[in-house]
Structure formats: C-alpha cells, structure tokens
Structure 1
Amino acid sequence: MIQSNIETTLGMPIRTRHDKPYPVIALLSGMLMLWGGCVCKGQTLQKPNVIVFLVDDLGYSDVGCYGSSYYETPHIDRLAASGMRFTQAYASSTLCSPTRASLLTGKNPARLHITHAIPIQGYKRIEGGRGTPLKDADYVMNLPLEEVTIAEALKRNGYVTASIGKWHVCRDPAYYPEYQGFDVNIGGNHRGHTGSYFYPYKGKWRMAADFPWEEWHTLPDGRPGEYLTDRLTAEAVDFVERNRDRSFFLYLSHYAVHTPIHAKKEVQAKYEQKEPDSLKGHVEPAYAAMIESVDASMGAIVGKLKELELMDNTIIVFTSDNGGFGKQTSNYPFRGNKGNFYEGGIRVPLIIRWPGVTDRPMISETPSITTDLYPTILDMAGLPLIPEQHVDGLSLKPIFNGGDLPSREALYWHFPNYVGPNHPNGSRPLSMIRYRDWKLIESLEDGSVELYDLKTDMAESRNVASENKGLVKSLLAMLEAWRNESGVQLPEVNPDYSATSR
C-alpha cells in the first residue's frame, strides 16, 4: 500500500528501506518514549506531530504563493492556504551550515561560531587569502554535542525522531544526526550536496586543484533511475507510516534544489515548453523541474497524513536555509542571492500550518528568523521552553493568536568570513542589524556602512547612511553591544595583504 501510493504521487518506482528494521537502539528508544506506556491505534495522540520540511537554496519567490508564475508548486500553495505565510522571514545566514545549526539549536550562528559552510573531513576552507585585507575567522566544524537540539528536546518529551536528507552541520561522523537526538538518520552526513540526484547517488569532489579527489554515495542503495528527492520522500512517508501511533518529529531536509542541477527529464521537458518569467528571473527549466519534484514531495507527505487521519494532529513547517543560488534563479523582488546578506540572500519563504489554528490563509509581516523555530515548535506542542538553549529565538505562537511577539530589540547577523567566487557578489566580512524597518550593514574590513529603509526601498537601491548619521551611530552601538554579549569571533588583519594584490 505505502509503496504504491508513493509511486502514484511521484510518478516513478521507489525503493525504500521499509522492509528492513531500523537499528535496534532506535526501536528500543522509541518503545521507551511512548506517552505513559502504550498509545493504541486510533487513540488521539497527546502531543502533535511535527514535520520540518526544509528545502536547500530555495529562493523567496521560487514558490507560487510567494509570487512565481513559472515554477509550479500547487501542494506548497495549498499548505499556505491552510497555514500562516510569513513575508518577512529570514534565514540565520546566507549559507547552509550556519542556518541549519541555528535551526537545530535556537542559537545565532555567531554565538555558535559556526559561521561558514563546513568543509569535508580533514579540510578547512579558507576563502580569505593573500588578496584580502582580513584573514577568515576560525569557525567551528562540528555542532557541539553539548547543545540540546530540537530533536533532543522533543525526544525527552516522548517523541520518536528522524532526520531524513541533508545534515551538513559537522565534518566528523561522530556528530551525525544519530548522536544529536535523532532515532533515525537516512542520507545525512558531512556533505553539503549530493554527488548525483540519480541512483547510485555517487559524488566526486576535491577541495582544490592540488588536493586529492574524494568519492562518496549519499545513500548506499537504490534502483536504477531512482531520483533522490523521490527516494527521501518515500523514506519520510515510510517513517510516518511506521510511527502513526506515536508522536513523531520528522526533519525532512531535502538536498534539492542545491546544485548539481539534475532534474527528471519528463518534468524538465514541460518547462522547456513553458514561457519563462524573464521579469522575475525564473527562466531555467531544469531548476523549475527540481522545484516541482520538491513540491510533489510535499504532496506525498500531506497525502499520507490524510490517509492516516493525522493532518489534524500534525504541525508542518516549510522553509529554506538561505536565498536562491544566483546562477540558477532570481530572488525577485529583492537584491542579492545566496552568498551575500542583501535581502535576496537571507529572506526566505516560511509557512507554518498549525491544525485548529490556521484553518484559513493567514499572512504575517512580523520579522522572524530561523532561531525562532525551536521555541515556536516547543510552544505549539505545549512543551516548556528552554530559554537557556534557544537563547536567540522567540516563540512565534502569539502571532497565531492575533498578538504581538515579546519585545525584541532587533535581528542580528555576523559573518567574519569570505564567500568564494562561485556565488555572485559573495559576501566579505560584515556585521548586520535589522531594527524596525532599518537595515544596517557594517563592513569589518574598513568600517564602512550601508543603511537601507526597507519600508520604502526593499530592493536596497539607495544607501542613506550619510543622511542618518545619528541613527547609524545608534545602530552601530547596538551591534557592538550584541557582538560583545554573544561572544562572536572576529577576523584578523592579514599581514600579507596589500592594496595592489587585489
């Protein structure tokens, strides 16, 4: 039944591991975590299920309900029709590892010192070199086991937990999901992308021309022609089916739509015949097809929840880890892309469906950030908050009840590193604050500042710092106080740099 339903939704045969038992430790921990003993079939669960559906590199307007007419996302749009759609949601970083670490911990990447995308085991990425005024600040390569992840917090309260898909918050296997509160880990490792979206999911990569090639497989098994997005979906549906009588937390973290751009040919062909949206920069058929496959994944998950009569007891969070990749899409109507801190690099889609509360389309213009998801999930599940852990996040629950968030001074970002040339207009070291409708960017290289009024200039086309010197001074003081409180790391002066070397 499960496999035939999935194949109908996704349009191709899929091999799952449902015929293989999960590791014994996962089964034992799941048995011990039932609410006060056995939860019988058909009995109402005491706590809601939670699904975090995370897409890699999905831009703000890459979804129909956020403005795209070229990319087709009917299932995600239907989720928005019964959920709250946030129009000013931010990723904690413009790169994947920092944002993912902040989602899992509720802490700002700068506080964690996980400020850059983490390289593979044994290698350390250094973007800032002889030709830059500063040297890249050192950054943490493994999400510390001492952090109480959202999975660990839920597991302590009776949830069975699964991480399916991309992990990328470590470089060492000792920090994989199974050591961070997840009973099940499928496809999660220290790699930032898959080698291929088609079985055998083989990858080949090297740090630079003088480094050796390394090969890996995202998943150890599969069928010829199998597509990774579909396979991860099938595994997720299998997990839901297996745990229909338990409270579960599913972290479905798709590798899509990150490069390599590999799409199912029959889906891509449809977009090759469709008129692109040149105004919004949505023009790439293969990328559009990858988005459609992600949307089909949402459809399959929701379809299984409905079949099992679990929709009324399942919270669904849909979002992205950063803005869209500038070589594949445009983050219209914003300036910037993944790799820099203009709005296009950090403003992301966020939809939260909360059964019994979001029974109609709802929109929030309240600024939010990735760190808010941790306390929001706990709060919606009726669980006690852990303020000493999710210190940089606020629960968004009051918004759903028509209220306002508790007082939050501002949103902060800190990036003491360099982004390489693969990303258009890659960031240089900076700190940034959003205070009300004002956004200030401070260069850590020379102290120069950019100030934008997002209310009147959401495209960040006019730097008004020189016209608002008093405000600039106040915002810089707020930034400095926040950096001191958060214990951020700073880049060092590069002694080998000279202006002529740039």
Structure 2
Amino acid sequence: MNNSARFRIVALVLLLLTSSAVSHAGAAVSSPTRPPNVVVFLVDDLGYMDVGANNPDCFYDTPNIGRLSQSGMRFTDGYAANPVCSPTRYSLMTGKYPTRVQATNFFSGMRGGTFKPAPLNNHMPIEEITIAEALKTKGYATFFAGKWHLGESEEYYPQNQGFDVNIGGYSRGGPYSGKRYFGPFENPQMEVESPEGDHLPDRLARDTAKFIDEHKDEPFLAYLAFYSVHTPLMGRPDLVEKYKEKSEAVEGEEFADEEQVIGKKPRKVRVLQKHAVYAAMVEAMDQAVGKVLKQIEDSGLEDNTIVVFTSDNGGLSTSEGSPTSNLPLRGGKGWVYEGGVREPWIVRYPGVTKPGSESSTPICSIDLLPTIASAAGVEIEHSIDGIDIRPALEGGALDRDALYWHYPHYSNQGGIPGGAIRVGKYKLFERYEDGRVHLYDLEADLSESKDLAAEMPERVQQMRKKLHAWYQDVDAKFLQPKEGRQPWKPEYLQ
C-alpha cells in the first residue's frame, strides 16, 4: 500500500470518528440534562364532577383542563386527604396524613355541634419538609401563588417553607380583602398591586407564567393554588351573562334532601348544575390554567415539565349558596362521602404517562411529594405516608392496601364527623357521634346509597380493625364531651 492510499484511509477514519463525536455531542445537547420542571395546579373547592374531563354533561366549560387530560393521565379514583382545605394542603406539601399533627380541619375551624370537636392544630409545623424544600436540594427555583391557609402568621407563610417567591399566600382561606376577586386586592403578600378590575385567577396565572419564562433555563417548581372557586361567589360579568343564558335551558329540580348530624335539621343538597356565577368562576379558572399551559409550550418546556392538576376537597353542595352538584357522588365539601373527598386528578408526565390515558387506581394528596421527589432524584429520608405513583402513571398498579380519612369536626357544610377507609372497591364509613358504621361497594354503588354492613359483617370487622390500627398509628383525636354528653370513642380508648 502506497503512502497516498494510507493517507486516504487515515483521513476516512478521522472523518468517521469526528462525525461520531459530533453526533454524540448533539444527542447530549438535545436530551434533557436536568431534572423535570414541575407545575402544580391546585383549585379550591372544585368538585370531581365540575370538569368536562370527568363529566361529559358538565354545565361548566373547561376546555383547557380537557386538553391537559388528553395529553396526560386522568385518574377516576383520585382523592383529597380530607374533606376541607387546610388539611389537604398540608398533605400535598408534606406527603403525610394531616391527622399526624392534628391538622384535621381548616385553620382554624372550631365549630361546635352535639359534641365538642377534636383538638385542632392551626398551622403546618415549620419543621415539616415541604415539596419546595425537597426540590431545592436539587437546585430548583420555587414559586408559590394563590391560597396558602397553612398558618396564622408570617413565620408559616410560603417564603419560610421553601418557596423563593410568594405571591398572595397568607393566613386567609379566601380572597376577603380589597375587592376580593377583582383588583385592587389589598393582599399583604402581593408586593405589586393590581389595577382596578383585574381578575384574581388571571393575575395569578400571569405571575406564574412570568416565573416560568424567567426560569426556563433552570429546573423549577411553580405551584399555583387558586383562590378560585371558593366563596365569595363572584364571576366576570361577561361569563356570568353567558351562563345565565345557558342556565335557562337547564330544567329540573335543583335541590334534594340530605342527612345531617345528630340533633340538627336536615339541609338541602344541590342536585343540578346551573349556578351561573359559579360556572363563570370555573371557566375563568380554566382560562387561567390555559394561560400557564401556553407559557410552558411557548418556553419550549412541554417535553420536560410534569403538570399536576387537582383540588383540595369536594364541590360546595350543601351550604354557602350551594353552587354546585357532585352527583352521582354523595355529599360534598365537609363530608367524608365521595362527594367530599374524590377529586379531579390529572397528571402529565412526559415520557411516562400515555396521552389520553385513564387509571382507576386510587391515589391521594399524600402521594404528590414522593412522586415529584422521585422524579427530581430527591431521596426522602424521613417518614411519610404517601408513595411514588409512577407505576400507576405507567399504567400499572400500586403496592398499597388502603387509604384513610379522619374528620373529627362539625363542618360549615353540615357534614358528619367521621372516618373512613377504602380497601379495593370497598369503603367503610364510621360515624364519630355514635360509632355506627356503613359499608359501600364503590364499583357497584358510587353514590354510597346501599349500605352493605349488615350483609358483610366479616368485611366490616376486618376493615374497622385496620382503620382503628391506623387511628393509633397517627394518634388520632376524637370528639370531646359536651354538657355531660359523651361521644363514641374507639374501643382502644375506652
């Protein structure tokens, strides 16, 4: 072989090596080199049946939430950890059941009834490791906007619980300052005031979108906890007018009877969706969700951003205007029935969830932190109650035998103080006033109308034993005596 031939061979080898190096370098650049971004939408008081993705006959228009569902996974059996707000918010932040710190009612709800309520903690302990604090160990920028309601003073606000930015989160459970849902808001945690007439859900969405755009070159957590659709019932005039016209075509009885706690007059429950103002609030919230989702797309982050959409408790159906119906789910906010704890849950996890997929695997608020921490490569070294639901997101099952609820209070909405356990398709409901239990087959009886307790005593005994063991594990507190009357207590406390 002459020198010219050798030179050509060497040149060809060098060319191939160079091409290979460029190809590999290009692949490294195009593939994700950082953990996924996380965007959480938490809606206040939004019922399971309030979004079109769960309810094709929904009175409220929610196209953006629908598109999110079509791009990710919708859970049919997703739950809140409690039928009211603060406890569920605590569990989303910490991965723990709120009963562990006696955060079992909204802060600070001490409404009385036949008996005195259980002792209540009124803040999320500052020692808790939040989802924001967990992600910051991996270099995440962290942002919170909206309703916090996890502590009575600034030491417990988001900026002291791992969030770099807090816009609007403080002690109040609703937009009760200024002009409430319309600017100026006079919110002490909004450094920049809104102009006259600015709409709160849109303001919070704009701030969230701005944060995403400004932090698109680093991993981030954007947690948008809407004040919507909590009372006061106030809607944008254009949307209110739209739904007033739409409601004229909706016929039927709007209310029916619902049971009430011992010694109280039974109250009505809404059974027909047609409340124009509430509908306007739902659609405005959906539009705000759409604004944030568009920013994710415009920033080129859609393929590396986990999006989670859920609510903190069921729809408001039995008080304060009773604006929505949760049927076929029984009850609503403040009730341990399905209407109070079954929530919209949609997760879009690029590369993990199949677009337009659905899962009937039960999940809960306690699962948010461990799932997101795992995705970000954060190792949780302390004890929590939730689990990483990635197997379910991939279309499989979860290794968990039960979910639990504990609400030893009299709710504003007339709900019954009680606890519950779900094992498979069965749910056991235990009343704290007198200790009665009810058993329901949720697959056959989603409305919890057929009590199977008398027909299946062995199952009742097994599930009740498991529930009571959980009470002991979390140090659950119960109703207290009042005026000489003694409430029921579990046998281990007697």
Q: Smaller-chain TM-score range?
A: 0.7 to 0.9
Matches within 5 A, 1:11-22: none
Task: State which of 117, 128, 142 in structure 2 corresponds to 1:161.
Answer: 142
Determine the structure 2 residue equivalent to 1:285: 276
Q: Deviations over 1:133-152 (max 9, x none)?
A: x3111111110111111110
Moved more, 275-284 or 440-449: 275-284
- The answer to whether the 8 A contact 2:336-2:419 is kept is no
Structure 1 residues 432 and 282 mapped into 2: Cα distance closer, same or farther (>3 Å)?
Answer: same
Q: AA paired with 1:258? A: H
- The answer to whether the 8 A contact 2:353-2:394 is kept is no
Q: What is the aligned residue count?
A: 431
Tell me the CA shift for residue 245 of structure 1. Answer: 0.8
Matches within 5 A, 1:305-454: 305-326=296-317, 327-381=322-376, 383-386=377-380, 388-389=382-383, 391-406=384-399, 408-420=400-412, 423=413, 426-454=414-442
- Establish whether residue 482 from structure 1 lines up as the match of residue 463 from structure 2: no
State how far apart, in whole Å, the 2-side matches of 1:380 and 1:88 are. 22
Taking structure 2 as the reference length, what is the TM-score of the superposition? 0.84
> Structure 1: where are the runs of 5+ without partners?
1-40, 120-124, 203-215
- Establish whether residue 66 from structure 1 lines up as the match of residue 54 from structure 2: yes
Q: AA paired with 1:365? A: S
State how far apart, in whole Å, the 2-side matches of 1:370 and 1:387 are. 19
> Structure 2: where are the runs of 5+ without partners?
1-28, 253-270, 488-494
Matches within 5 A, 1:92-103: 92-103=81-92
Matches within 5 A, 1:204-243: 219=190, 221-243=193-215
Task: State which of 261, 267, 274 in structure 1 corresponds to 2:246.
Answer: 274
State how far apart, in whole Å, the 2-side matches of 1:45 and 1:189 are. 35
- SS of the residue 2:145 aligns to: strand
Structure 1 residues 262 and 200 mapped into 2: Cα distance closer, same or farther (>3 Å)?
Answer: same
- The answer to whether the 8 A contact 1:45-1:313 is kept is no
Structure 1 residues 45 and 56 mapped into 2: Cα distance closer, same or farther (>3 Å)?
Answer: farther
State how far apart, in whole Å, the 1-side matches of 2:53 and 2:326 are. 14
Determine the structure 2 residue equivalent to 1:6: none
State how far apart, in whole Å, the 1-side matches of 2:30 and 2:292 are. 19
Task: State which of 177, 191, 196 in structure 1 corresponds to 2:158.
Answer: 177
- The answer to whether the 8 A contact 1:90-1:369 is kept is yes
Q: AA paired with 2:404? A: Y
Task: State which of 445, 451, 461 in structure 2 corresponds to 1:463.
Answer: 451
- SS of the residue 2:195 aligns to: coil
- The answer to whether the 8 A contact 1:56-1:253 is kept is yes
State how far apart, in whole Å, the 2-side matches of 1:372 and 1:253 are. 17
Identity %: 43
State how far apart, in whole Å, the 2-side matches of 1:128 and 1:237 are. 42
Determine the structure 2 residue equivalent to 1:152: 133
- SS of the residue 2:48 aligns to: coil
Tell me the CA shift for residue 278 of structure 1. Answer: 5.3
State how far apart, in whole Å, the 2-side matches of 1:398 and 1:44 are. 22
Q: Deviations over 1:209-262 (max 9, x none)?
A: xxxxxxx66746110111111111111111111111110001100000000111
Q: AA paired with 1:201? A: F
State how far apart, in whole Å, the 1-side matches of 2:408 and 2:389 are. 29
Structure 1 residues 309 and 321 mapped into 2: Cα distance closer, same or farther (>3 Å)?
Answer: same
- SS of the residue 2:404 aligns to: strand
- The answer to whether the 8 A contact 1:69-1:277 is kept is no
Structure 1 residues 217 and 285 mapped into 2: Cα distance closer, same or farther (>3 Å)?
Answer: farther
Determine the structure 1 residue equivalent to 2:124: 143
- SS of the residue 1:297 aligns to: helix
Determine the structure 1 residue equivalent to 2:20: none
- SS of the residue 1:64 aligns to: coil
Determine the structure 2 residue equivalent to 1:473: 461
Q: AA paired with 2:470? A: W
State how far apart, in whole Å, the 2-side matches of 1:401 and 1:316 are. 15
Determine the structure 2 residue equivalent to 1:122: none
Q: Deviations over 1:172-221 (max 9, x none)?
A: 2110001100000000000000021001225xxxxxxxxxxxxx667461
Tell me the CA shift for residue 388 of structure 1. Answer: 2.6
Tell me the CA shift for residue 403 of structure 1. Answer: 2.4
- SS of the residue 1:252 aligns to: strand
